[in-house]
Homo-oligomer: A and B are copies of this chain.
Amino acid sequence: MIDAANPLSWVPSANGHPDFPLHNLPLGVFSVAGQTPRGGVAIGEHILDLQVACAAGLFEGEAEAAARAASGDCLNAFFALGAPARRALRAALTGLLAEGSPARMHMEALGDALLPAMADCRLHLPARVGDYTDFYVGIHHANNVGKLFRPDNPLLPNYKHVPIGYHGRASTVCVSGTPVRRPLGQTLPPGQEAPSFGPSKRLDYELELGIWIGEGNAMGESIAIGEAGEHVAGYCLLNDWSARDLQAWEYQPLGPFLAKNFATTVSPWVVMPEALAPFRIAQPPRPAGDPQPLPYLLDAQDQAAGAFDIELEVLLQSAAMREQGLAPQRLALSNTRHMYWTVAQMVAHHSVGGCMLQPGDLFGSGTLSGPEPEQFGSLLESSFGGKQALTLSSGETRTFLEDGDEVILRARCRREGQPSIGFGECRGVLLPARSA
């Protein structure tokens, strides 16, 4: 008998899997040795190969069209089909992989060809990123960073009216596991009048939620807030690597540039909005006394849906920790509930002036810190601007990242009576700078 709230799969490793039970079913792009990259679905310790599944005739109708669009070497064509096609594919996948699936014997007979072990697969960037936009909706982060510069007045006057964002670099968005090289650049060392050139000395991570855009809008048109949710294809984790010393010197007056454009790492799985739907938390959208959003940012259904309740974790493993066999150490545990603006507000704002969004565009939420130090999503915050070092299990200390450090982001959703789901990991190890 199927428990509707906790359905089981005939893929044994899916049942009780912390990240990829039957309820999750995130999409990604993977390859096994000797084969071309193709779309797949995470289920337990396996990936369902959408090319093999299509060839085996497992789908029909709208779900088949969606599965075919998702079976290529990137998910852009699938994202372009929009939310109804995604829901059709999700429903079909849920049926195929559920315990009582009529297709079970057929699928089991296909064996590893249909369901290779994830451990044998390489995961790729799930979509070609057209444009990448980084927002700044983590209000505690904005407060913490603002305090370093303006102790009495940390939030700028526009913060509670405008979902602040800026354009990031699409070409260097890379998938989890890609090593990241410490950037060279200009900095103005304290007390000096002329800048120096060399490797960044204040290299940092930023813990963010990534948002993949589905169906877009034409140039000159916009996406109304009431429809914004239908334009989101899914979610991932995002590490917005940041060189704080480069940033401080370069960012006036046009914003961050080399401080951010050397790398942005995303987790490989695209978690569908439908999988996250049960994990919302009713909270007042904004504290009493805060200004009401302008009408183009206000939608009753969006406000009523509540914030996402997704635990976000940053861990660090230094080279010495790896050598000593020490596990990655948690540096922070935060939550998406600290977003001051909803994803629908971000989509509506981004497009309201006529900016064209396209399938495969990527948004970052901005750093999602909580109010407490153990919830801070960047080292700039955790080290209080580099003034207070963290101690690692190896006995090493950190204000900012050292070469060889691996930064690992994780996300998990838990709720009473629901199977928990996770995002998989977003990892990146820091390589030394090129010689200057």
Q: Which residues of A contact B (CB under 8 A)?
A: 130-131, 134, 136, 156-158, 161-162, 164-172, 174, 180-181, 183-186, 188, 194-195, 197, 200, 219-222, 243, 246, 249-258, 261-263, 291, 294-296, 349-350, 352-358, 361, 431, 434, 436
Contact = CB atoms under 8 A, between A and B. Distances in A.
Contacts of A361: 171
Q: Which 9 A-B pairs have the closest CB atoms?
A: A255-B255, A183-B353, A181-B220, A166-B254, A167-B167, A261-B355, A262-B354, A258-B353, A254-B255
A-side interface mostly: loop
Contact of A166 (B165, B186, B194, B257): B257
A79 to B, nearest CB: 14
Nearest to A195: B161
A174 B257 contact: no
Given A158-B250, A162-B250, A252-B156, A172 B261 contact: no
A243 to B, nearest CB: 7
A91 B253 CA distance: 43
Contact of A355 (B222, B258, B354, B436): B258
A401 B218 CA distance: 23
Nearest to A178: B219
Contacts of A262: 219-220, 353-355
14 contacts: A156-B253, A158-B249, A166-B256, A167-B257, A167-B261, A181-B220, A197-B296, A220-B262, A222-B434, A251-B253, A258-B353, A261-B353, A262-B355, A296-B436
A250 B291 contact: no
B221 A258 contact: no
A421 to B, nearest CB: 31
Nearest to A171: B356
Contacts of A296: 184, 197, 436
Given A194-B291, A243-B353, A355-B171, A255 B258 contact: no
Copies in the complex: 2
Nearest to A186: B162
A250 B164 contact: yes
B171 A169 contact: no
Given A221-B434, A253-B156, A254-B256, A166 B164 contact: no
B354 A263 contact: yes
Nearest to A260: B167
Given A131-B170, A261-B355, 7 more contacts: A156-B252, A169-B355, A184-B353, A197-B294, A220-B431, A258-B355, A263-B354
Contacts of A186: 161-162, 294
Given A130-B171, A220-B262, A353-B183, A254 B136 contact: yes
Contact of A253 (B169, B255, B349, B357): B255
Contacts of A130: 170-171
A78 B353 CA distance: 34
A243 B352 CA distance: 13
A157 B194 CA distance: 9
Contact of A169 (B131, B157, B243, B255): B131
Contact of A257 (B165, B295, B354): B165
Contacts of A249: 158, 162
Contacts of A295: 197
A171 B219 contact: yes
A170 B170 contact: yes
Contact of A219 (B161, B174, B257): B174
A258 B46 CA distance: 42
A69 to B, nearest CB: 21
Contact of A358 (B171, B180, B221): B171
Contacts of A169: 131, 167, 355
